[in-house]
A and B are shown apart, each in its own frame.
Chain A
């Protein structure tokens, strides 16, 4: 059974249909990469996977459980309760483009807040796990620091550690290096490479094509709310089948395709 199964996912914002019927599976331990131009809907897909955006149609199934909705006794779809949705969210970690660390508490408290208050983990255990995770992302000496004292790359690594602290089944990465200075991107990608090698299930929206090719196992190219191409990254990035993907990739090699 795949870790994540998305079937015919549709999402509208007002009158604009942003997702027009998306279908894909993510296997356990897979590194799944989504690329595409701005506005193609890639971030929206991620945000539907932890129900931060409530999808309108289709299904998102996480480890066998339908997300956000359940069927009532007449077989109609009805929205899950806040409690059920919150519970499912603890199994899906998310790292945001703008880190979104809690600025009013220090790094350790950022990491322990949710485990202690949402999962009821004893403080000492949560702190122990937090220190382990900080070591994993290379930031042990910043445990007591406040987020504002950290660089963007450091904050993003803390954000990854915060997502890991809930011990989720899958981690979503929403363009996590797009807001970083080029010299700080490497340290974040390094952490992600390490997580991939440890067998985490990861869904990554990114513009880092080299990373996608080296680390990704499955790739989705999206445009205008639909999947245009899907397959192994090494294959697709080297030999894109459609003109749209060729145009998109051409931008990353500094050559504009002249119409």
Chain B
């Protein structure tokens, strides 16, 4: 049933590798950047926080596909297409993660901040020892959600002509006309990309859960 898919597997695997590169780069760098922005927005709410709020509002308000086009035509003129859309993915991820991080930090009970202050802790120490460990626990489900969204968003780079798994899939379908066959297989490949994420998320949730 999936003969055409398996016949073209080597070609599709190369595409999958590129997709994984985009996903990994976007998720890892975007999440780190977003967490940093989220922390800054909480610790310096007046000026920096407002700037970050504008950043988040603008980026989240525009479909990722439109950002891809802008990145491709704008940045893509200065740097390689691959880097241009990767940067778009990273910035797009960071906007969502900034809000997830900010929300998680604010969800840590205020009493924790008061008791940390009462034993003489200042913000850097308070964040490192008391707030962030609890915020990580709170934010994990949302971060996993977001990461899955980014894996799917990588497919959009194909629309601006950057080659990866869904681009390769469409090429194969154009050539063989076995659409269902190929896309069923490609669906499984995307699932294979998402699966390790689910495992990692599970491990992380266990690791950061407050033990009983």
User: Is A102 engaged at the interface, CB distance under 8 Å to the other chain?
Assistant: yes
Could you tell me if B122 and A166 are in contact, using CB atoms closer than 8 angstroms?
no
Given contacts A103-B210, A148-B210, contact A117 B111 (CB under 8 A): no
In Å, the complex CA distance between A90 and B134 comes to 23
Q: Which residues of B contact A113 (CB under 8 A)?
A: 119, 129
Tell whether, in the assembled complex, residue A114 and residue B210 are in contact, meaning their CB atoms are under 8 Å apart: no
Nearest CB on A from B123, distance (A): 8
Interface SS of B by simple majority: helix
Of B115, B120, B122, B210, the residue contacting A96 (CB under 8 A) is B115
Contact between chains at B212 and A118 (CB < 8 Å)? no
Which residues of the partner chain B approach A82 to less than 8 Å between Cβ atoms? 122-123
Pairwise interchain contact B120-A118, C-beta atoms closer than 8 A: yes
Query: 1/0 contact trace for A93-115 toward B, CB 8 Å?
Result: 11010101111101000000110
Cα–Cα, bound, A166→B212 (Å): 26
B173 at the interface (CB under 8 A from A): no
Q: Are A89 and B115 in contact (CB under 8 A)?
A: no
Bits for B181-201, please: 1 = Cβ < 8 Å to A, else 0: 000000000000000000000
Complex contact A89–B114 (CB within 8 A): no
As a 0/1 sequence over residues 109 to 122 of chain B, the CB contacts with chain A under 8 angstroms (1 = contact) are 10110111111111
Complex formed: what's the CA distance from A72 to B212 in Å? 51
- Residues of chain A contacted by B211 (CB below 8 angstroms): 106, 146
A170 CB to closest chain B CB (Å) equals 12
Q: Which interface class (under 10, 10 to 19, 20 to 34, 35 or more) fits A?
A: 20 to 34
* Chain A residues whose CB sits within 8 angstroms of the CB of B119 once the complex forms: 89-90, 93, 113-114, 118, 162-163, 166
Select which of A93, A98, A101, A117 is within 8 A of B129 by beta carbon.
Answer: A117
Contact partners of B122 in chain A: CB under 8 A: 82-83, 86
User: What's the Cα separation between A114 and B133 when bound, in Å?
Assistant: 16
Q: Are A104 and B125 in contact (CB under 8 A)?
A: no
Q: Closest residue of chain A to B136, judged by CB? A: A104
Give, as a whole number of angstroms, the nearest-CB distance from A90 to chain B: 4
Give the docked Cα–Cα distance between A171 and B137 (Å).
32
A93 vs B119: C-alpha distance when bound (angstroms): 7
Task: State whether the Cβ of B130 lies closer than 8 Å to any Cβ in chain A.
Answer: yes
* Beta-carbon contact of A52 and B118 below 8 Å: yes
Does A87 touch B at the CB level, under 8 Å?
A: yes
Chain A residues with CB under 8 A of B120:
86-87, 89-90, 114, 118-119, 166
Q: Which residues of B contact A159 (CB under 8 A)?
A: 115
User: Given the complex of chains A and B, what is the CA–CA distance between A244 and B115 in angstroms?
Assistant: 33
B207 to chain A, nearest CB (A): 11
Known: A104-B137, A114-B121, A117-B125. A52 touches B210 (CB 8 A): no
A102-B212 contact given A82-B122, A87-B120, CB 8 Å threshold: no
* Residues 43 to 100 of chain B near chain A (Cβ within 8 Å): none
The answer to whether B117 and A52 touch across the interface, beta carbons within 8 angstroms, is yes
Residue pairs across A and B with Cβ atoms less than 8 A apart, 8 shown, are A89-B119, A92-B118, A102-B116, A102-B130, A114-B119, A148-B212, A159-B115, A162-B119
